[in-house]
Structure 1
Amino acid sequence: MSPTDLLVPTYTHMLQTLAGLLEKARQQCSDSEAEALLAQRLAPDMLPLSAQLRFACLQAQEAVFRLSGQMLPEDLEQLGQEGHNAGERSGSMIEAQTRIGDALSFLGSLEPGAFDGTEDRRVILELPGGPTFDMTGQDYVRDWALPQFYFHVVTAYAILRSRGIEIGKADYVPHMFNHLSVVRTFGTTRGVDQRSV
């Protein structure tokens, strides 16, 4: 599978998931409670929900530029800074949904095969104030781009769940229902209820 065919649908599905999770939170809370969720953390030394959302949006776009050998645009650099400073300014649910929408629009604008053939390209990843990693495009996708992205998506899910938002696995992988088939259980045929997944 090419990097484009792997990353673009994965990022798209999971960013849509994040948008859906935030919408569920908004439906279950007052406006002020929903906004307060953005400052919540899983642990005192972890970044808040607003940072997890920003970093998920950043990761989904950053991979395209790194694999293509391009510098990150200024707006993505700023998004990363906002993520690191999210403890000081959480932003709003509308801003979070807008960031997710912007990331989805960016992914949707990519040409088919936009960064195919980058598996052997050298990717240098310098972390702020820390180590530098030197790897191939394939290593970058497998060992950094996907794990980092999923970390932020899962952490966002966990923060919402830990704060009493009623979400479940079906809310985390709603794209799987596109693949739903009829299942056989104890000799009978039935569809699968989303709530039971």
Structure 2
Amino acid sequence: MSYATAALATYANMLGTLDHLVTKAEAHEKGETLLQSRLAEDMFPLATQIRFTIDQVRVALDRLGNLGLAADDSDITTFAEAHARIAAVRELVANTDPATWPASGDTVEFTLPNGMAFVMQAHEYCRDWATPQFYFHLMAAYAILRAEGLAIGKIDYVGYMMRYMKQPTPAA
């Protein structure tokens, strides 16, 4: 399996998780006020964590697939908007052909807004930058929701695993 195929499958699974978490948050008694919840004062709120999770995928698809995607730096203000953005990036993932990504050893260069610049191989970018950044913001969103009292657990985080569950053999 190529690094591109693995990354796209990971994004598909975990964007499903993000959408599920947003659905659970939407049904919570605190409603959309949750979007401004934070784990700590110096951390971004839930709305920004959701946006950053989505943006990590968009940026990776752009850098590796040369899709010419424009950044969306606008805030998420409603759960409906969060669902719409998640759906849009899930569609991008589903329609991305891993064969269009650079070879594993090809160079990826990028500069962060703070001026830090990086040069690495494509598979290293995916493994060491894009995937950890994606999971960091997804876990921050999950942690905020847990801290705010949502009844979520591991099955909400890895619900996609249920498709692999082996059904018990009936007793004779």
Pair 1:19-2:19 in alignment: yes
Letter of the structure 1 residue corresponding to residue 27 of structure 2: Q
Match of 2:165 among 180, 185, 191: 180
For the aligned residue pairs, the C-alpha RMSD in angstroms reads 1.8
Match of 1:134 among 107, 119, 123: 119
TM-score, normalized by length of structure 2?
0.90
CA distance, structure 2, for counterparts of residue 130 and residue 43 of structure 1: 26
Query: What residue number does 1:146 align with?
Result: 131
- After TM superposition, give the deviation of residue 121 of structure 1 in Å: 1.5
8 Å Cα contact 2:32/2:79 also seen in 1:
yes
- Residues 128-181 of structure 1 show CA distances to partners (whole Å, capped at 9, x for unaligned) of 123111111011011001100000111110000100011000000001111112
| Distance (Å, rounded) in 2 between the aligned partners of 1:121 and 1:102 | 28
- Cα distance in 2, alignment partners of residues 110 and 139 from structure 1: 19
Normalised by the size of structure 1, how large is the TM-score?
Answer: 0.80
Aligned residue type for 1:101: A
SS at the partner of 1:47? coil
Instruction: For 1:114, give the aligned amino acid.
Output: T
Conservation of the 8 A alpha-carbon contact between 2:61 and 2:67? no
Cα distance, 1:73 vs structure 2: 2.3
SS of residue matched to 2:36: coil
- What's the counterpart of residue 124 of structure 1? 109
Instruction: Write out the 4+ residue segments of structure 1 that deviate beyond 6 Å after TM superposition.
Output: none
User: Which runs of 5 or more structure 1 residues have no equivalent in the other structure?
Assistant: 184-188, 191-197
The whole-number CA distance in structure 1 between the counterparts of 2:167 and 2:67 is 47
Worse overlay, 105-114 or 167-176: 105-114
The 5-angstrom pairing of residues 25-36 of structure 1 reads 25-29=25-29, 33-36=30-33
What is the identity percentage for the equivalent residue pairs of Structure 1 and Structure 2? 38
Q: What is the letter of the counterpart of residue 3 of structure 1?
A: Y
- Indicate conservation of the 8 Å contact 1:122/1:135, yes or no: yes
Query: Given the alignment of the two structures, is residue 51 of structure 1 paired with residue 51 of structure 2, yes or no?
Result: no
Asked which structure has the greater CA Rg, the reply is: 1
Deviations 1:3-41 (A, max 9, x none): 221111110111111111111122232xxx221111111
Q: Which runs of 5+ in 2 are unaligned?
A: none
Aligned residues: 170
